[in-house]
Structure 1
């Protein structure tokens, strides 16, 4: 019995020691778990902080992207507006240049018309002078022809008059040739002017009449050659 009692405490001691050992191991384990929990909590805090930073960065990137989109839209609108304004300015400039060109052309046309009218007036005056000259030649020739029979009866005087008549006729032929040449030049100039102003009824009729008159004078002058 005593042996059993002596043995029993030993077993209890063993159990107690084993319990204490396990309790100690469990305590250490718990401490390790607590420490691991603390590290895990710290890691979670770090991860949470990193996640918050990433979220803020993501929000900032999204805000920047939205701002870029807004600025891009404003830029496109501004470019379209500026392009439209430039196109309107170019159209206005082109219209202004066209008006200026039209005015310039009209001014030149008026100047050309005035110059042509002056030329026509000069041609009319020259034709009147030529008509007077031809009439003078005709009168002189008629006078010579009328007195030709009388000069035949007066030999001495007749010879002088014939020489005088030949000289006058030679001079007349020379001047008539010059008249014919000038009339030909006038015909060419009048034809050019009539073509140029054929769309203007009054001027076209006036030029046509002038051309006919010049041609008639030319034919008349040629008959004396």
Structure 2
């Protein structure tokens, strides 16, 4: 469902006369006798989504991809890198006047405007008169998710979660598509969706809510998203204390701060705002382009802003000086009573408040606007449970690794013992080979082959008569000696081979011993880590018990 605005342009004098007449007839935003007291103390929770993944993706993109993104979605990507000045925001909200939807610094009224937000975000491809209205019968969340990601119905159904009665999807489920989807336009669109869901319209930490998907689908139709973003800002500022899941208020910081000094304390900001004078202010920001001012809509005397979860009134005639116009009395009747929430969100919020009123000491129940934020003790408990679960997983992993290391040590020891037995067998074989070689040498010596030439001549001369006999005998002895020499050479070759194998076995034995030492050192290191983790777990348990004791003592 969508509606458009038919624009009618009036001269400044006509608008001034109409505003003065309307104010006289209907009065101001506050009824007679009501006093809009600014709070003495404000509580701002600056918990935000972790945007490191988005920053990393943006830095990895080349200039062409960034150009495509900027052409489609303006400068919203710069919001992920803005550092929120907590001191400035903490001081600013003290000066927010919810009855008139403006900051009142001393006697000067200032408020973010549609035109300023449009200039800051530099979104050019929208139709200024086309507004976002919540669709009464939208497409199912699963179908939207499938169409945006190109995933299956089964995948989409598995990713959809329910957090505090809010239907949403974890950012982790979309991260992979943003990083590696084959279609560059899909990557760009999903990255923009992540910025809208985690930065601008964040409701549940680390998740993108279903209403953001509906809003994102409508952007293709050219709706003016600035009005929706401004509604989110005003509705968040409407209550004190308020929470800040996203960096929407970074736009407020840019709106007020710009070139102001850095690292200023909250008290200094408060002093500056309390003593602010008109002559101290450059009313029209130099980056604002001249444009027609939208000052009323339909039957309202101001501009109703519709957001994702409700609407709020906005009176730009309060701050005409921000457009270099002469300030006159603005029409603000009924402005304070206009804010509303969509029915489903209002029912959800009432249910949350009702369920939290069980305990009178529940801080969240005393502060209904903080219904989405757990107490500090609950946060500490959740962090402790996460840390405890992580330590338990690490402990199980280390125990498994320790068991595997013990098995490996036993296997290596078995291998070492086997090599030692083989080495002993080789040493015995070598000793036997030496003995056999010695026997062969004695055999050769005893066979008479060791005689000198003179002895042989003398013996030959002595047995000339039996030459033929000795020749035959000598031939037999030579053949026997030749066989002995061949056998000796073979034994020597075997000896050298066994010696080489023994040397290799010795080297392998040394390597196995070194491996066993390394495994034993690793086992000792893992055992130390295991002891440290057990000690850390015990300390966490002790700290948790102390925190619970303190918490129960304060109840």
Match of 1:186 among 476, 489, 495: 495
Match of 1:105 among 409, 412, 417: 412
Check the 8 A contact 2:444/2:450 in 1, yes or no: no
Equivalent-residue separation in structure 1 for 2:484 and 2:450 (angstroms): 18
Counting only pairs closer than 5 Å after superposition, residues 54-65 of structure 1 correspond to structure 2 as: 58-63=349-354
Once the two structures are superposed, residues 144-185 of structure 1 have per-residue CA deviations (whole angstroms, 9 ceiling, x without a partner) of 765763344334533222222222222221221221122123
Check if 1:89 corresponds to 2:380: no
Equivalent-residue separation in structure 1 for 2:501 and 2:348 (angstroms): 87
Question: Which stretch of structure 1 is more off in the superposition, 92-101 or 72-81?
Answer: 72-81
Q: Which has the higher contact order (CA 8 A, sep 6+)?
A: 2
Check the 8 A contact 1:144/1:165 in 2, yes or no: no
Equivalent-residue separation in structure 1 for 2:440 and 2:399 (angstroms): 61
Check the 8 A contact 1:152/1:158 in 2, yes or no: no
**Is the alpha carbon distance of 1:97 and 1:153 closer, same or farther for their aligned partners in structure 2, counting shifts above 3 Å?**
same
Equivalent-residue separation in structure 1 for 2:442 and 2:436 (angstroms): 10
Give the length in aligned residue pairs.
147
Equivalent-residue separation in structure 2 for 1:61 and 1:171 (angstroms): 110
**Structure-1 residue corresponding to 2:308:** none
SS at match of 1:197: helix
Check if 1:175 corresponds to 2:484: yes
Normalised by the size of structure 2, how large is the TM-score? 0.23
Equivalent-residue separation in structure 1 for 2:354 and 2:472 (angstroms): 121
SS at match of 1:141: coil
* Pairwise CA distance, 1:193: 1.8
**Structure-1 residue corresponding to 2:433:** 126
Equivalent-residue separation in structure 2 for 1:56 and 1:150 (angstroms): 132
**Is the alpha carbon distance of 1:150 and 1:68 closer, same or farther for their aligned partners in structure 2, counting shifts above 3 Å?**
same
**Structure-2 residue corresponding to 1:140:** 447
Once the two structures are superposed, residues 45-70 of structure 1 have per-residue CA deviations (whole angstroms, 9 ceiling, x without a partner) of xxxxxxxxx99974422355879866
SS at match of 2:466: helix
Counting only pairs closer than 5 Å after superposition, residues 6-25 of structure 1 correspond to structure 2 as: none
Q: Which has the higher helix share?
A: 1
Check the 8 A contact 2:423/2:502 in 1, yes or no: yes
SS at match of 2:448: helix
Check the 8 A contact 2:419/2:505 in 1, yes or no: no
Equivalent-residue separation in structure 1 for 2:505 and 2:348 (angstroms): 83
SS at match of 2:487: helix
**Structure-1 residue corresponding to 2:165:** none
Q: Which has the higher strand share?
A: 2
Equivalent-residue separation in structure 2 for 1:57 and 1:195 (angstroms): 78
**Is the alpha carbon distance of 1:60 and 1:126 closer, same or farther for their aligned partners in structure 2, counting shifts above 3 Å?**
same
* Pairwise CA distance, 1:131: 0.8
Q: Which residues of structure 1 form unaligned runs of 5+? A: 1-53, 201-225
Check the 8 A contact 2:444/2:481 in 1, yes or no: yes
Equivalent-residue separation in structure 2 for 1:98 and 1:117 (angstroms): 28
Once the two structures are superposed, residues 5-35 of structure 1 have per-residue CA deviations (whole angstroms, 9 ceiling, x without a partner) of xxxxxxxxxxxxxxxxxxxxxxxxxxxxxxx
**Is the alpha carbon distance of 1:178 and 1:57 closer, same or farther for their aligned partners in structure 2, counting shifts above 3 Å?**
closer
Q: Which residues of structure 2 form unaligned runs of 5+? A: 1-344, 357-363, 365-370, 510-555
Check the 8 A contact 1:151/1:158 in 2, yes or no: yes
* Pairwise CA distance, 1:75: 6.6
Once the two structures are superposed, residues 37-95 of structure 1 have per-residue CA deviations (whole angstroms, 9 ceiling, x without a partner) of xxxxxxxxxxxxxxxxx99974422355879866x967765454333212211112112
**Is the alpha carbon distance of 1:108 and 1:198 closer, same or farther for their aligned partners in structure 2, counting shifts above 3 Å?**
closer
Equivalent-residue separation in structure 2 for 1:167 and 1:79 (angstroms): 94
**Is the alpha carbon distance of 1:76 and 1:129 closer, same or farther for their aligned partners in structure 2, counting shifts above 3 Å?**
same
